[in-house]
Amino acid sequence: MGLVIGGFTVNLINVLVVAIALLTVLSALTLVLGSSKQERGYSLWFLVAAIGELVWGASIAVMLSLPPTDAGYAVAPWMIKGIYMGAIVMDIGVLGYVAWRNKFGKVLTSLFMIFGLILMVIFLYDPSVLYTSINLSHSGNSISIDLSRGWYIIYIIYFITVALAFCLTMIYRILHTNNKNTRKGYLFFLIGLSISGGLAPIFDLFMPIWRYDLIWVGPTLIGLTMTGFYYAVLRYRMVTINTNWLKVMSSIVLVGGVLCIYLLIFHLVFAALFKVASPSFQVVLLNFIMVAVVLVLTPAIIEIWAMVKSLIIAKQIDLVYIVKKLSKINTKEPNLRDISSFLAEHMHFTYVGFLINGKYFAADDYKIPVEELVEIPKLDYPAKGIWQAASSLDKEMTKKFGIYRVGCLSGASGEMLGQVILGRPTMRGEIDKKDWVEIEMVMSLMGTIIENGGKRIKG
């Protein structure tokens, strides 16, 4: 089942094959433009491979969509030529990208290029060396492959040999690359193409002999691997993306790649569950709408999850979340009561109070009369760190108000601005050294906030 446009049956999978191929070309173009002058020549080989993958994938998508009409039979031979020749160009380009760096690699690539061109010329001159007939029908399009003349066997051997040459050359490149990040990027490419290159011949060389409808698997896997390699290029900084339009292109490639993977998984799951070749146009449209809704809600979901994680994980302090929220506070007029409540929840203390210039700021449930805290301002300034000797305070007072620790709050100049009072911890177990370091970092930030707020502090 698919959407019929001008006689062509447009299935989701055919659209995805073309979309992935276009993303591959876009990633290769971005790689070329982002490469240094020294690397740009090699990157051009990757662009050649991407163009070959586009011709290969697009030809397969159109071939599988052709209607059983005179126009369909007129277009089909050209699509078949595009399938076989596009795959040859792609393989030569991939090999050239990794091998065209030394004399042996140049010779190896040139030999495969020459032999590939010979196969292309023979196929253009006499297509019957590879197939004997074209079969178009509403139940599925296919071709009848001729094995008797031996050329199809040679075609298979050619591709398997190119794949082996690529793997061996890539292993050599990995072993002789000094840059650690470049080595990781090449290793990613080797593993990806070893897997996709191992599966592609099954679906695109062997299975088409008796089953043609899965020929789209090859360009899909190879295209995703090449697009994935571009992610590795960015991840391991193999090229420098330093202009806005290159960043935009990179974002399109990565987001588009993730979307294509999602839709591919959706197609496979839908086909397995409902036993149909492709979901209807309405189902695909609904799926796109749901993806758009999820993307719109993603920032809110991330924010909610960060808040929930910070609240429920009582064995550690989520410093990143706390600093992120404090950085958004209006430092000109900070509300210390609200900040007190927030810090108590996320640093896992019963309360956090601030004693500033004779005024005490805390959540309403933990208000303590200032006159009850007269001993706290008299505590000695610590010789190291921020924590003062709270053990010298009156034991009944500390027990009555649940005082756990008292610390100094200092501004950027080091001047003492006030004190922070921590209630009993709600964490399970002891607070370790790492937690105290993070708490001190938060209090240092609070000192800056209080210093900036000055007399405009609220609460």
Q: Could you read off the pLDDT of 249-293 as tens digits, one per residue?
A: 888 888 888 888 888 888 788 777 777 666 666 776 777 777 777
> Which residues, other chains included, contact 24 with Cβ-Cβ below 8 Å and sequence gap of 6+?
50, 53, 54, 223, 226, 227
Strand partners, 135: 142
3-state secondary structure of 66: coil
Residue 35's identity, in one-letter code, is S
What is the overall mean pLDDT for the chain? 84
Per-residue pLDDT tens, the chain, 459 aa: give them: 454 444 445 577 888 899 999 999 999 998 888 887 888 888 899 999 999 999 999 999 999 989 888 888 999 999 999 999 999 999 999 999 989 988 999 999 999 999 999 999 999 988 888 888 999 988 889 999 988 888 999 999 999 999 999 999 999 989 988 888 888 888 988 999 899 988 999 999 999 999 998 999 999 999 999 998 888 888 877 776 666 777 788 888 888 888 888 888 887 887 777 776 666 667 767 777 777 777 777 777 666 766 665 555 555 677 888 888 888 877 677 888 888 888 888 888 889 999 888 888 888 777 888 888 888 888 888 878 888 887 778 788 888 888 888 989 887 777 788 889 998 887 766 777 888 888 888 898 888 888 877 655 665
Please spell the DSSP secondary structure of 282-298, one letter per residue. HHHHHHHHHHHHHHHHH
> CA-CA distance, 189 to 200, in Å (whole number)?
15
> CA-CA distance, 161 to 401, in Å (whole number)?
79
pTM across the whole model = 0.69
DSSP 385: S
CB-based contact 329:339 (threshold 8 Å): yes
Strand partners, 9: 4
Place of tokens 């550690």: 316
CB-based contact 355:321 (threshold 8 Å): no
Residue 193's identity, in one-letter code, is L
Write out the two tokens for 367. 């208000």
> Which residues, other chains included, contact 18 with Cβ-Cβ below 8 Å and sequence gap of 6+?
57, 58, 61
* CB-count burial class (<10 Å; 0-12, 13-18, 19+) for 285: exposed
> CA-CA distance, 246 to 31, in Å (whole number)?
9
Q: Could you read off the pLDDT of 110-162 as tens digits, one per residue?
A: 999 999 999 999 999 888 888 889 999 888 899 999 888 889 999 999 999 99
> CA-CA distance, 406 to 404, in Å (whole number)?
7
Looking only at the bridges linking them, the beta strands covering 8-10 and 131-135 are unpaired
Please spell the DSSP secondary structure of 141-198, one letter per residue. -EEEE--TTSHHHHHHHHHHHHHHHHHHHHHHHHHT---HHHHHHHHHHHHHHHHHHH
3-state secondary structure of 268: helix
Compute the CA torsion angle 352, 358, 364, 369 (nearest 10 deg).
110
Candidates 219, 236, 189, 223; CA nearest to 63 is 219
Cα atoms in the Cβ-side hemisphere of radius 13 Å centred on 389? 7
Place of tokens 């019963």: 350
Place of tokens 């994938």: 57
Q: Could you read off the pLDDT of 4-37 as tens digits, one per residue?
A: 444 445 577 888 899 999 999 999 998 888 887 8
For residue 417, the surrounding DSSP H or E stretch is strand 416-423
For residue 132, the surrounding DSSP H or E stretch is strand 131-135
> CA-CA distance, 101 to 103, in Å (whole number)?
7
> Which residues, other chains included, contact 145 with Cβ-Cβ below 8 Å and sequence gap of 6+?
130, 131, 132, 152, 208, 209
> Which residues, other chains included, contact 156 with Cβ-Cβ below 8 Å and sequence gap of 6+?
201, 205, 206
> CA-CA distance, 113 to 101, in Å (whole number)?
16
